[in-house]
Amino acid sequence: MKWIIALVVIIILGAIVGPLASGNAGYVLVQFAGVAIETTVVGLFVVTIVAVALLAVIVSLLRRLLSKTRQGRKWLANRSERKAQTIFQQGIRELLNDEPSKATESFSKAYKKSPDNNVAALTTLASCLNKDAGKATYWQEEAGKFYENADTLLQLVVIEQQLKTDPAKADNKMRSLLQSKSHSAHVLKLAYRVFKASGDWQQLKDLLPELRQVTDLAPAEFERLEYQVYFERFVAEGRRSNEILYNEWRSLPSKQRTDATIRLSYAAALKHLGDHEISARVILKGLKRGDLQPAAVNSLHLFNAKSEKLLEFVQAQLKQDPENRDYLYALAQIAMDNQDFSLAQRALKKLAEIEPSSHVYRLLGDAYHALGDSQLAANAYKEALAH
């Protein structure tokens, strides 16, 4: 029917255009094998269009006739399958060449020519790699029941898109995925991003052993992640009550309580919550047992003057090794925290002689300024700028 309509439209156009162009019609002369054909340009155009339309009609009729016979149907089916196979192979090449968008288009064309669940499944894969959750969902449904539970990549794409707009919703989806699917590297890496964005530190805490195995984080980066996870978790529990925080700490295996990163995060959380004395005791116990190194404690500014025993321990270490840079800095931190600026400036002055740095001279300037010696403070600040 559509070809008949098109033919009628063409004839009408020819009937309109022909007379309009008759004033300057233009002529075409075709000579071939002794035969001469002379016509107007408009006439040639109309005849060509009509011929093409008639040819299309004839081809359509032939296809219908062929489809009525067994051999014809077989030939048409084979022809369609051959075309589908060619397009399918093109899609495979595009997928291997990291062109998922083109591969999705090729696979969908192949599926239209020859519907097959396996092709639909590959189209789902290509759509997932192209981060197109809508198309991936559609093709997952087309793939049928055999593939309905093989939807991890699709769920990852959906969660990643939700992460940008609704981290809480992405968090819920990720929890469900972790409960129902195996924890592959892709799943764990996205879980790390989701739970960090949503602030779900308990979930991250539970996944840390697996994340250590699959993430490409350097050891130092992983330690920072581990510190942040436990710190945030301890702070959240401490805001509920001191008892809950203590129970959370005691619930950890002894191996974890002796781990330097976890112990530091606990001490930092206590300091953050205002429990400076308990924080100092946790640090002192770690130093005495050798679980903690003073440099790590210094880096987090966890030495404080709320524990006399911690001060005595630091002074005892300096008696054994008067030029220990880490304990000199620790003594300076404790003295500054206790507003004993005279002791602080002595420790910092010695530290500046051993290991001069901008930070040490700035703190020394602060100590001199607190003591009221503006000239020495100015000199220290100049040294800080010079280093």
Question: Mind listing the pLDDT tens digit for each residue in 67-105?
Answer: 556 554 554 456 677 788 888 899 999 999 999 999 999
Show Cβ contacts of residue 313 under 8 Å, excluding neighbours closer than 6 positions: 284, 287, 288
% pLDDT > 70, the chain: 82
Higher pLDDT, 178 or 54: 178
- If you average pLDDT over residues 226-239, what whole number do you get? 93
**Counting every residue, how long is the chain?**
387
Look at residue 75 in the predicted model and tell me its pLDDT: 47
Show Cβ contacts of residue 295 under 8 Å, excluding neighbours closer than 6 positions: 326
Per-residue CA distances from 346 to 68, 316, 372 (Å): 104, 16, 15
Look at residue 63 in the predicted model and tell me its pLDDT: 63
Q: Which residue ranges make up each domain of the chain? A: 1-68, 81-150
Look at residue 144 in the predicted model and tell me its pLDDT: 86
Q: Which CATH number fits domain 81-150: 1.10.8, 1.25.40, 2.60.40, 1.10.3210?
A: 1.25.40
Using one digit for the tens of pLDDT, what is the confidence trace for 123-144? 999 999 999 999 999 999 999 8
Neighbours of 247 (CB within 10 A): 11
Look at residue 65 in the predicted model and tell me its pLDDT: 57
The mean pLDDT value of the chain amounts to: 85
pLDDT of 217 over the 90 cut: no
Look at residue 231 in the predicted model and tell me its pLDDT: 95
Q: 22 pLDDT band (50/70/90 cuts)?
A: low
pLDDT of 24 over the 90 cut: no
Q: Among 310, 293, 380, which residue's Cα sits nearest to residue 345?
A: 380
% pLDDT > 90, the chain: 55
- If you average pLDDT over residues 48-63, what whole number do you get? 69
Per-residue CA distances from 351 to 271, 338, 383 (Å): 26, 19, 14
- If you average pLDDT over residues 245-261, what whole number do you get? 93
Whole-structure pTM value: 0.67
Look at residue 218 in the predicted model and tell me its pLDDT: 82
Q: 216 pLDDT band (50/70/90 cuts)?
A: confident
Per-residue CA distances from 151 to 124, 185, 293, 336 (Å): 9, 16, 47, 58
Look at residue 76 in the predicted model and tell me its pLDDT: 47
133: Cα separation from own chain's centroid: 15
Look at residue 226 in the predicted model and tell me its pLDDT: 92
Q: Among 84, 14, 80, which residue's Cα sits nearest to residue 47?
A: 14
pLDDT of 221 over the 60 cut: yes
Look at residue 274 in the predicted model and tell me its pLDDT: 92
Look at residue 84 in the predicted model and tell me its pLDDT: 81
Using one digit for the tens of pLDDT, what is the confidence trace for 304-347? 888 899 999 999 999 999 999 999 999 999 999 899 999 999 99
